[in-house]
């Protein structure tokens, strides 16, 4: 049987603003239940929402990065439904005047590059969390800490033709949001959530039949997403063969994915579909977004990870793996490029940044944005290694001190006397060469002219470019002269 | 004008119950009010916007700075029921993204 | 010392400032007035609660005055409608559903007044959630008209008007969505003022119809209103619909030279449909205006015929959403006799809301639901836009709009309670100001043959609170001189 898979995605991304969407409570994951709540996010009588500036800015930034058109005027609406985790009995969302519309995201597929069209991007507030304890009380428990967290909802056209494409699309969204630093997109923690609408176009008797659309929820990882969608394809095919149900007569069903069984189960039939009674949020005025802001924000978007990755490979000769790591974050890629500037071997710099800088940040629990070491210091350190002054092993020590203290690599090398050669074998080599090249002075010394040792020491220093440790060298020299 | 299906569906959305004997009176009152609303049909609103009023610019919105939240002790002063730091409700399933009232 | 109870806020302020009376004496006098009325066979039922600690607060105010740390309203009493939040005080909106709720925060208006030393002395009765025009839909039973206790006070701020008219408070805060301050002021023979939408913050005013809700002031003297507005108005960062207005110089009000001022009398609110006795008072008021040199003229504004329909679509729509938060989950009434979530919702709300609130929630959900939205809600919003345009056009040519505050004089308790539509029609004169956001004042302009008060209403241009209040003051001065 000939068929085509049709998938569209609704992606929810939690923003990393300091405060919630409509109140000044801290926006952070987890914590003691109900400790980040106030009259607004608890839906007390008389409380009013106050829009977070940063949420609008982030939405515009995200929209531009997804090639969307930004609205000149955007408005919030109320989506009405009652549930315990929704304290006001409505969610402040956007309906007919979303902040962004009409974008696209390019993904890589087996058949090459493909554009997924984005219908809209809008802002809304997250709900609280219902906790289900098996405590025999017959109760669920509500925590409103998450309530009011700003979300972006990104809705795609049904342009994806396989679970793999759907996963690539969501990964692409994730990459961009993380790159822009507006979300950490952690699927396990729920800061990125994806619902997929999937059905099949079945070609039979020269006709196209569309199977009922399933909206699949509860996909908490990319693996779960792949499996859930694969399962849906199988299930819909089987259902078609058995019942010949089509979209026309059945409509849309909401199904939840169960990670344990690997199956999707019906959550809601079409006739139960809620009527959300959207209307403009009267507590908030429409928001005007100036051309200026759009232009300014557009400049902030700059080159996105996918393009950057490609450029890093072609311009610097990086491997795909390294390029991906560096291009995933704007700050990290900027750091790399600044360090690589004017240095002949970017591949070395890249691997240094990935391993050493990355390792350091990891141990210290810092982000690259919080890392204060100027990238030029990395460049300089590499140069010192290249000139043979210190080994790359020593360079790691220098880096550790440099990252903590902020001193320049030259200062550290000098302070720790890392540039002196103390290695006995190496110094013996110098002594041997100098003695061989200056037989007269050797002879003079042996005749009792002590001052000849000064001349020979001078030669050793010249030969070692001043890096030979004088005490150790002198001792070796004396030893060799006396043993002659 | 308002049949049982509509009446029940709006009551369901409203999370209200109107019991047997009140129902007819309730329906009558609502129908009377709704039919009064017909006076609006005489107004021509072709191509009229339903303006939401003047807009506000981004600079006038709230700056993203954290302020203190409620201490748990305050919540206890107004909460109808507050157990171990949570608001308890009859056991529910699902994430609540609307309509799961089985 | 003359009798204290019965004096205005402004007079009491003068006495306090001169040290001729103490705050304690003032509070005691009003409390005494309240308590003696309670002993009468048919108490007015204006207060739901007179605060026990009001006298303690008065003692503190007297101390502050002695210490020279007093605010400009130090020790002055004010009554507060039961839907305007005061920190650590109960607030029930006249509803069973908010029984047990103590507010953890104060409304901005109350907070600003209290910062200047005002003492809220009690909570006043109201129609449940401010939905009603008679103050009969209260869980505490109706308030009664001080002019004749068999008559309604008007609503919804009936308690506020009753306590002011009976000398139980010099001044009271009420709230308006469709005339809820002006109508009871008119029925009880006091001044009642609704500011331009946005002049006062709505933060901490329990929401009914958010796009029209506004706190208002009731008093026997327009200067009291000016004093309160001058302290309480202006932008509030907790309410994005509040405006950056400066009314700090509003008090004291000067007499107005009315000569040459053009005043529009809407044909739709002055002829047919207006009670004969109300018409007589209107004619007398208009002749006074003429005698002052003003030019009242009849003007046709056809859309005024549609305001009741518009209002009773828009306000319930917003209310249905605003009242969704009363679900028994977090605060207030909670009926857990059922065994699931739906039971908690339906039982709590069915038990907690009165009939009129239920009707409006139903109406609101109806006009917003799929299939009816365009015909009702959207249509009403479009006509509202046209109404604003029409009124602003009239107010370009005319300085004020004059009409009766109510088409009928006060009526007997129980006469309209079972006929919602006829109750709604009582609002025909007041609603347009709320729909168009305009400031309006009700002026006690005369009485019927039975001695029942009749109010006249002046509506002004956006933010011209000063104009209409000065005009009211001019009438007040004439009345107190006893001129004809």
Write out pLDDT tens, residues A148-176. 999 999 999 999 999 999 999 999 999 99
What ipTM does this complex have? 0.96
Chain B environment of C463 (Cβ under 8 Å): none
**Closest chain A C-alpha to C329 CA, distance in angstroms:** 7
Q: Between B58, B91, B92, which is nearest A56 by CB? A: B58
Same domain? For A339 and A457 the reply is no
Instruction: Quote the pLDDT of residue B102.
Output: 28
Q: Is residue A6 part of a domain?
A: yes
Q: Is residue A375 part of a domain?
A: yes
Lowest mean pLDDT: which of B90-99, C49-58, C405-414? B90-99
Same domain? For A121 and A152 the reply is yes
- The 10s digit of each residue's pLDDT in C439-480 is 999 999 999 999 999 999 999 999 999 999 999 999 999 998
SS3 A347: helix
Interface residue B17 vs chain C (CB under 8 A)? yes
Of the residues A376, A409, A442, the one at which a domain ends: A409
Instruction: Quote the pLDDT of residue C1.
Output: 46
Those of residues 21-50 in A touching chain C at CB distance below 8 A are 39, 42-50
Q: Is residue A396 part of a domain?
A: yes
If we measure between CA atoms, which residue out of C142, C140, C177 comes closest to residue C161? C142
Omega of the bond leading into C156 within 30 degrees of 0 (cis): yes
**Per-residue confidence in pLDDT tens, chain B, 102 aa:** 899 999 999 999 999 999 888 999 999 999 999 999 999 999 999 989 876 578 999 999 999 999 999 999 999 999 999 999 999 999 987 544 433 332
Q: Is residue B93 part of a domain?
A: no
Same domain? For A377 and A281 the reply is no
CATH 3.90.1300.10, domain C1-484, yes or no? yes
Same domain? For A167 and A266 the reply is yes
Q: Does residue C388 carry a catalytic annotation?
A: no
> What's the mean per-residue pLDDT of chain C?
96
**C250 falls in which pLDDT band (50, 70, 90)?**
very high
If we measure between CA atoms, which residue out of A83, B16, B84 comes closest to residue C362? B16
Q: Between B11, B41, B90, which is nearest C341 by CB? A: B90
Q: Is residue A237 part of a domain?
A: yes
Same domain? For A210 and A275 the reply is yes
* Residues C187, A326: Cα–Cα separation, whole Å: 74
Tokens of C182: 């002006």
Q: Is residue B94 part of a domain?
A: no
| DSSP assignment of A407-452 | --HHHHHHHTTTTSB--HHHHHHHHHHHHHH-HHHHHHHHTT-TTH
Instruction: Quote the pLDDT of residue B94.
Output: 52
Please judge whether B37 and C309 are an interchain contact, meaning their C-beta atoms are less than 8 angstroms apart: yes
**Closest chain C C-alpha to A82 CA, distance in angstroms:** 7
Of the residues A288, A323, A344, the one at which a domain ends: A288
Does residue B3 come out as left (phi exceeding 0), alpha (psi in the -120 to 50 range) or beta? beta
| Res C298 pLDDT > 60 | yes
Q: Is residue B46 part of a domain?
A: no
Interface residue C378 vs chain B (CB under 8 A)? yes
Q: Between A24, A35, A139, which is nearest B66 by CB? A: A24
Q: Is residue B35 part of a domain?
A: yes
User: What residues have CB less than 8 Å from C432, skipping those under 6 apart?
Assistant: C304, C307, C387, C391, C438, C459
Q: Which domain holds residue B5?
A: 1-39
Chain B environment of A52 (Cβ under 8 Å): 61-62, 64
Domain coordinates of chain C in residue numbers?
1-484
**Per-residue confidence in pLDDT tens, chain A, 484 aa:** 899 999 999 999 999 999 999 999 999 998 999 999 999 999 999 999 999 999 999 999 999 999 999 999 999 999 999 999 999 999 999 999 999 999 999 998 888 999 999 999 999 999 999 998 878 888 999 999 999 999 999 999 999 999 999 999 999 999 999 999 999 999 989 999 999 999 999 998 889 999 999 999 999 999 999 999 999 999 999 999 998 888 877 778 999 999 999 999 998 876 666 899 999 999 999 999 999 999 999 999 989 999 999 999 999 999 999 999 999 888 899 999 999 998 889 999 999 999 999 999 999 888 888 898 999 999 999 988 887 777 777 888 889 889 888 888 888 888 887 777 878 888 888 899 999 999 988 888 888 888 888 889 888 988 887 788 888 888 898 888 887 6
In chain C, pLDDT over 70 holds for what percent of residues?
Answer: 99
Same domain? For A362 and A221 the reply is no
Instruction: Quote the pLDDT of residue B97.
Output: 41
* Residues A443, A457: Cα–Cα separation, whole Å: 15
Q: Is residue B30 part of a domain?
A: yes
Which of A19, A37, A39, A48 best probes binding to C when mutated, by most C CB atoms within 10 angstroms?
A48
Chain C environment of B32 (Cβ under 8 Å): 420-421
- The 10s digit of each residue's pLDDT in C71-121 is 999 999 999 999 999 999 999 999 999 999 999 999 999 999 999 999 999
Instruction: Quote the pLDDT of residue A484.
Output: 64
Same domain? For A161 and A44 the reply is yes
Instruction: Quote the pLDDT of residue B98.
Output: 39
Same domain? For A128 and A155 the reply is yes
Tokens of C27: 């509070």
Cβ atoms within 10 A of the Cβ of C155, count? 35
Q: Does residue C270 carry a catalytic annotation?
A: no
Tally of domains in chain A: 3
C224-252: average pLDDT: 97
Q: Does residue C305 carry a catalytic annotation?
A: no
Please judge whether A84 and B87 are an interchain contact, meaning their C-beta atoms are less than 8 angstroms apart: yes
Tally of domains in chain B: 1
Check the CA dihedral C334-C335-C339-C340 and report its sign: negative
C161: DSSP letter: H
What does each C-alpha distance from C256 to A106, C243, C477 come to in angstroms? Answer: 69, 26, 10
Instruction: Quote the pLDDT of residue B99.
Output: 37
Same domain? For A269 and A327 the reply is no
C37-45: average pLDDT: 96
Q: Which domain holds residue A460?
A: 424-483
Of the residues A235, A256, A288, the one at which a domain ends: A288
Same domain? For A270 and A344 the reply is no
């Amino acid at each position: 049987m000939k068929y085509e898979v049709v998938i569209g995605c609704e992606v929810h991304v939690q923003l990393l603003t300091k405060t919630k969407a409509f109140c000044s409570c801290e926006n952070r994951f987890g914590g003691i239940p109900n400790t980040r709540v106030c009259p607004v996010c608890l839906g007390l009588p008389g409380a009013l929402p106050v829009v977070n500036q940063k949420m609008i800015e982030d939405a515009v930034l995200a929209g531009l990065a997804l090639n969307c058109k930004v609205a000149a005027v955007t408005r919030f609406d109320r989506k009405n439904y009652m549930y315990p985790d929704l304290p006001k009995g409505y969610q402040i969302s956007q309906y007919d005047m979303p902040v962004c519309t009409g974008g696209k995201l390019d993904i890589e597929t087996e058949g090459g590059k493909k554009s997924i069209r984005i219908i809209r991007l809008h802002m809304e507030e997250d709900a609280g969390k219902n906790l289900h304890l098996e405590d025999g009380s017959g109760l669920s428990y509500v925590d409103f800490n998450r309530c009011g967290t700003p979300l972006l909802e990104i809705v795609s056209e049904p342009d994806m033709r396989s679970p793999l494409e759907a996963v690539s699309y969501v990964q692409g969204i994730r990459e961009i949001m993380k790159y822009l630093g507006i979300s950490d997109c952690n699927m396990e923690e729920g800061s990125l959530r994806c619902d997929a609408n999937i059905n099949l176009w079945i070609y039979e008797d020269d006709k196209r039949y569309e199977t009922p659309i399933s909206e699949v929820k509860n996909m908490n990882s990319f693996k779960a997403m792949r499996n859930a969608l694969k399962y849906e394809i199988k299930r819909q095919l089987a259902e078609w063969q058995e019942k010949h149900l089509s979209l026309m007569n059945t409509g849309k069903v909401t199904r939840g994915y169960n990670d344990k069984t690997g199956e999707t189960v019906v959550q809601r039939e079409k006739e139960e579909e809620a009527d959300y009674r959207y209307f403009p949020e009267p507590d908030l005025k429409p928001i005007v977004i100036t051309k200026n802001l759009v232009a300014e924000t557009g400049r902030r978007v700059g080159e996105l990870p996918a393009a950057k990755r490609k450029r890093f490979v072609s311009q610097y000769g990086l491997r795909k793996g390294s390029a991906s790591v560096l291009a995933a974050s704007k700050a990290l890629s900027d750091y790399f490029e600044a360090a690589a500037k004017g240095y002949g071997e970017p591949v070395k710099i890249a691997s240094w940044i990935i391993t050493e800088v990355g390792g350091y940040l990891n141990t210290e629990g810092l982000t690259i944005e919080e890392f204060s070491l100027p990238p030029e210091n990395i460049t300089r350190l590499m140069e010192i290694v290249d000139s043979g002054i210190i080994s790359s092993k020593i360079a790691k020590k220098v880096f550790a001190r440099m990252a903590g203290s902020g001193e320049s690599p030259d200062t550290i090398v000098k302070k720790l006397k890392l540039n002196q050669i103390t290695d006995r074998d190496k110094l013996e080599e110098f002594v041997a060469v100098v003695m061989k090249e200056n037989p007269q002075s050797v002879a003079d010394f042996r005749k009792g002219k002590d001052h000849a040792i000064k001349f020979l020491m001078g030669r050793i220093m010249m030969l070692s470019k001043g890096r030979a440790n004088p005490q150790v060298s002198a001792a070796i020299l004396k030893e060799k002269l006396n043993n002659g | 004008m308002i049949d049982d299906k509509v009446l029940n569906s709006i009551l369901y959305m409203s999370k209200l119950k109107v019991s047997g004997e009140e129902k007819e009176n309730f329906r009558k009152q609502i129908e009377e009010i709704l039919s009064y609303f017909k006076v609006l049909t005489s107004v021509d609103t072709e191509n009229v916007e339903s303006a939401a009023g003047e807009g506000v610019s981004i600079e006038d919105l709230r700056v993203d700075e954290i302020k203190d939240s409620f201490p748990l002790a305050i919540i206890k002063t107004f909460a109808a029921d507050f157990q171990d730091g949570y608001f308890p409700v009859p056991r529910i399933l699902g994430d609540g993204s609307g309509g799961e009232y089985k | 010392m003359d009798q204290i109870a019965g004096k205005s806020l402004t007079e009491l302020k003068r006495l306090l400032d001169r040290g001729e009376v103490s705050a304690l004496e003032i509070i005691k006098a009003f409390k005494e007035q309240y308590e003696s009325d309670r002993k009468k066979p048919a108490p007015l039922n204006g207060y739901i609660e007179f605060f026990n600690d009001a006298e303690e607060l008065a003692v503190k105010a007297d101390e502050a005055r002695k210490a020279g740390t007093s605010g400009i309203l130090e020790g002055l009493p004010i009554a507060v409608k039961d839907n305007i939040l005061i920190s650590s005080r109960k607030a029930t909106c006249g509803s069973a559903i908010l029984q047990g709720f103590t507010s953890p925060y104060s409304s901005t208006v109350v907070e600003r007044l209290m910062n200047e030393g005002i003492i809220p002395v009690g909570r006043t009765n109201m129609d449940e959630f401010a939905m009603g025009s008679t103050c009969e839909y209260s869980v505490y039973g109706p308030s009664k008209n001080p002019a004749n206790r068999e008559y309604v006070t008007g609503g919804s701020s009936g308690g506020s008007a009753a306590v002011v008219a009976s000398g139980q408070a010099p001044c009271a805060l009420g709230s308006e969505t469709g005339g809820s301050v002006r109508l009871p002021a008119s029925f009880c023979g006091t001044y009642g003022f609704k500011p331009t939408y946005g002049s006062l913050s709505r933060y901490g005013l329990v929401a009914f119809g958010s796009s029209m809700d506004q706190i208002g002031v009731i008093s026997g003297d327009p200067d009291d209103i000016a004093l309160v507005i001058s302290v309480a108005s202006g932008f509030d960062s907790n309410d994005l619909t509040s405006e950056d207005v400066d009314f700090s110089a509003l008090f004291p009000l000067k007499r107005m030279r009315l000569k040459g001022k053009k005043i529009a009398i809407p044909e739709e609110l002055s002829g047919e449909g207006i009670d004969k006795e109300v018409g007589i008072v209107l004619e007398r008021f208009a002749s006074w205006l003429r005698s002052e040199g003003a030019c009242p003229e009849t003007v046709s504004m056809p859309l005024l015929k549609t305001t009741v329909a518009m209002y009773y679509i828009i306000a319930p729509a917003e209310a249905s959403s605003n009242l969704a938060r009363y679900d028994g989950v977090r605060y207030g009434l909670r009926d857990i006799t059922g065994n699931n979530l739906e039971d908690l919702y339906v039982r709590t709300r069915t038990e907690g809301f009165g009939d009129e609130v239920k009707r409006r929630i139903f109406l609101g959900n109806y006009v917003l639901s799929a299939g009816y939205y365009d015909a009702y809600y959207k249509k009403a919003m479009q006509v509202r836009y046209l109404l604003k345009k029409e009124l602003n056009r009239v107010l370009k040519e005319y300085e004020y709009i004059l009409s009766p505050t109510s088409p009928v004089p006060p009526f007997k308790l129980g006469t309209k309670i079972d006929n919602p539509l006829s109750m709604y029609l009582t609002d025909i004169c007041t609603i347009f100001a709320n729909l168009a956001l305009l400031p309006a004042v009700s002026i006690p302009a005369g009485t019927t043959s039975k001695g029942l008060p009749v109010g006249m209403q002046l509506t002004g241009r956006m933010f011209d609170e000063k104009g209409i209040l000065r005009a009211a003051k001019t009438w007040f001065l004439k009345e107190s001189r006893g001129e004809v």
